[in-house]
Chain A
Amino acid sequence: MAAEQSPQAPATPSGDTRIHNIGYRSYDGPRLGRSYARMSLYSQSLRGAYGLGRSAKSKVLPMLLFVVMCVPAAIMVAVAVATKAKELPLDYTRYAIVMQAVISLYVASQAPQSVSRDLRFKTVPLYFSRPIETGDYVRAKYAALASALFILTAAPLLVLYVGALLAKLDFTDQTKGFAQGLVSVALLSLLFAGIGLVIASVTPRRGFGIAAVIAVLTISYGAVSTLQAIADVQGSGDAGILIGLFSPITLIDGVQSAYLGASSAFPGGVGPDRTEGILFVLVTLGLIVASHALLMRRYKKVGL
């Protein structure tokens, strides 16, 4: 502490040690402006999504979920290597669908952390009294959560891919599957981050935010898969497929079964064909754009 307080101490002329009161120093260095501030907010929010730079307690959940996401991939790889399997037990594109509960839990815990805190503790005005604008704040927060989700969903795919190469599986097949998986989880990250942030930004209460995000993600999926099962039993397969437009995870499932060579988790394993797939892509992109627009609207109102 001595070093910190020394400038205030009086000058002591004894010997060589001489402490000067340097008083207030003005800052003449560079001011890096808006884009730098936006990047700083992005990196701070991204780190925060894994509890980095926050208390030890807030690291527990995101880190735990990250491990939970990766462990099954590691086990699959171990099994594939040990049994000298011809292919991985699970497609790259299916992984996120199977692990959707973990992903939903992550979004539900980290989206409110990212935006509700600033609202609850009224930190938002401090941001907007600085060079950044509403759009910068929204985009930084959105990009940060989407990146965090991408890390969460792409890491196990990377584990699978590296493992598959170690198991000397077909390189071309594996690389293609891995690439398709990455595109799919990128889309999923954008969609889930958008939905999570929109819900979380409505309430300054973190608990409500967590509950609301979980509710929206699980209830929509529960309702959609139930209706799809009923439609399947009644033999109206087309209607069942289109019901898939109404929950985020079935949307992604639809997009990847139509375009990314994925096997669908829809009843009977029949996903949308390429024509129906257009609808899934449009709705997915529409939701991402709408999330962004809603966040912009929300923060225009917050202001100071």
Chain B
Amino acid sequence: MDVTVIATESLSKRFPRVTALDRLSVDVGPGVTGLVGANGAGKSTLIKILLGLSPATEGRAEVLGLDVATEGAAIRERVGYMPEHDCLPPDVSATEFVVHMARMSGLPATAARERTADTLRHVGLYEERYRPIGGYSTGMKQRVKLAQALVHDPQLVFLDEPTNGLDPVGRDEMLGLIRRIHTDFGISVLVTSHLLGELERTCDHVVVVDGGKLLRSSSTRDFTQTTTTLAIEVTDTDEHPDGTRAVREALHARGVTVQDGSGLPGAGHILLLTAQGEDTYDLVRDVIADLGLGLVRMEQRRHQIAEVFTNDTDDAQRKEAVGHGG
């Protein structure tokens, strides 16, 4: 991590009755960083402080090398913010709204219009952008919220729970979009979620907070590579009335440890196994093909960072946070 995008040093925020942040020290580099914690873990408070809108009780923080306490306006010119809650007036079109927000970020009128057209296209809004926002689906509204955070081409965006309220497909699309914000647009991202597993494919780095304290800050690459868990579901045939068992035995014979997906929806029909790179995928494919079964699904399992945390922690508190995350 050569450049630091966000740096906090014993950052604390105390309200009369509750401590929202407790001596949080964390460095965040460029790329996509997930900020994970249960509801009330201090994520939104941290974003407010980083935007220079709420003074920290003690400690200090820098965003893009600017001090949050004294250079808030300069920070807010260079970052974008997508709130967790609804924030769109229903009676204007996405275009009008985003143009206005671009001007509020200091873009001249012409540039604001051009950037709005570009940005709405990049987030996947086309003809509908001329219609009033009130008629949009949740997914489209999330895209407008994202567009207003990106329209002034910030160096960093804060996305607060961007997948909230989306269906699984919408969630995947949003996560893909978040990934592109960094890879294609070159903008660093700090994305919060209370779902730890959701961020595994999207983030380069995950920061876990609970009760305002830092639980863990680590690169996702460190642990996802070795422990990708696959979920497999197969059909039954006349030849193999219990296809699941047949596959389990066949895989076992090839030396692959398989677990039942107990506790998951469709338990009994789902097999979990640890993938050791590309070979495992081929092996599973061949085994199932040999048995003449149909492969209903084979997917990387979610919530798997959670398991990593559970496995390597001996700290009860840490486990608790992971429980929230799952």
Contact = CB atoms under 8 A, between A and B. Distances in A.
Nearest to B117: A4
B101 A303 contact: no
B166 interface: no
A32 B108 contact: yes
Interface in A48-76: 53-55, 58
Contacts of A24: 118, 122, 184-186
Interface string A26-39: 11011111101100
Contacts of A127: 104
A54 B103 CA distance: 17
Contact-size category for B: 35 or more
B90 interface: yes
B252 interface: no
Contacts of A32: 106-108
Interface string B25-61: 0000000000000000000100110010110000000
A86 interface: no
B100 interface: yes
Contact of B51 (A1, A23, A40, A129): A129
Interface in B189-219: none
A4 B186 CA distance: 22
B87 interface: yes
Interface string B103-136: 1111110010001011001100011000010000
A125 B104 contact: no
B87 A122 contact: yes
A31 B88 CA distance: 24
B171 to A, nearest CB: 22
A15 B85 CA distance: 49
B161 interface: no
A82 interface: no
B152 interface: yes
A123 interface: yes
Nearest to A303: B53
Contacts of A7: 121
A130 interface: yes
Nearest to A22: B118
A29 B111 contact: yes
Given A24-B185, A128-B53, A303-B54, A133 B73 contact: yes
A31 B126 contact: no
A40 B100 contact: yes
Nearest to B78: A31
Nearest to B111: A29
Given A24-B122, A129-B76, A44 B106 contact: no
A130 B105 contact: yes
A117 interface: yes
Contacts of A8: 121
Nearest to A118: B89
A129 B79 CA distance: 9
Contacts of A122: 83, 85-87
A275 interface: no
Interface in A109-137: 117-118, 121-123, 125-133
Nearest to A7: B121
A18 interface: no
Sorted nearest first, the 10 A-B pairs with minimum C-beta distance are A27-B153, A129-B81, A31-B106, A40-B103, A32-B106, A24-B185, A121-B89, A131-B73, A122-B87, A130-B104
Given A33-B77, A122-B85, 6 more contacts: A4-B117, A24-B118, A32-B106, A40-B104, A129-B83, A303-B48
Interface of B: 44, 47-48, 51, 53-54, 73, 76-77, 79-81, 83, 85-92, 96, 100-101, 103-108, 111, 115, 117-118, 121-122, 126-127, 132, 148, 152-153, 184-186
14 contacts: A1-B127, A30-B111, A32-B108, A40-B100, A40-B103, A41-B104, A44-B103, A54-B91, A117-B89, A121-B88, A122-B86, A130-B77, A130-B104, A131-B105
Interface of A: 1, 4-5, 7-8, 23-27, 29-34, 36-37, 40-41, 44, 53-55, 58, 117-118, 121-123, 125-133, 303-304
